[in-house]
Amino acid sequence: MEFLPYIVMALAVVFLISRMKPTAGVRQITTAELKQELKDKNKQFIDVRTPMEYKGNHIRQFQNIPLNTIGNNTNKLSKEKEIIVICQSGMRSNAADKQLKKAGFTKLTNVKSGMNAW
């Protein structure tokens, strides 16, 4: 019983690391690399921040589809085109990539450090 707090702490750390770990099969790019990608009209750019965050500051090419609505908006996205996802720090975009991957999207890119690095 005296080990229980350590076991709980270890499980919490494993959970947090798994949430922050990049999604397998999802390309990771920096904001410097994103600047080159923005020129490609055959890519879809999704910003998964809240509408208020998006309104405050966003990249023109990005469409706002908040993370909590991504599952209901997959019909707006093409599985044929690459989807580049951004958020404020890279965590929500990684979560969105996981959801999109489960929905059958295969051409996914996450912007590391998100708008914080922009």
Instruction: Quote the tokens at residue 65.
Output: 């589809």
3-state secondary structure 43-68: CEEEECCCHHHHHHCCCCCCEECCHH
Q: Is the pTM of this model over 0.95?
A: no
Domain boundaries, the chain: 4-117
Which residues are identified as catalytic?
87
Q: What is the pLDDT of residue 97?
A: 96
Class of the CATH domain delimited by 4-117: alpha beta
> What is the C-alpha to C-alpha distance for residues 106 and 16, in angstroms, rounded to an integer?
25
Instruction: Say whether pLDDT at 15 is over 80.
Output: no
pLDDT digits (tens, 9 = 90+) for 76-116: 999 999 999 999 999 999 999 999 999 999 999 999 999 99
Instruction: Say whether pLDDT at 21 is over 70.
Output: no
Q: Of the candidates 97, 99, 91, 95, which has an alpha carbon nearest to the alpha carbon of residue 115?
A: 91
pLDDT digits (tens, 9 = 90+) for 31-58: 999 999 999 999 999 999 999 999 999 9
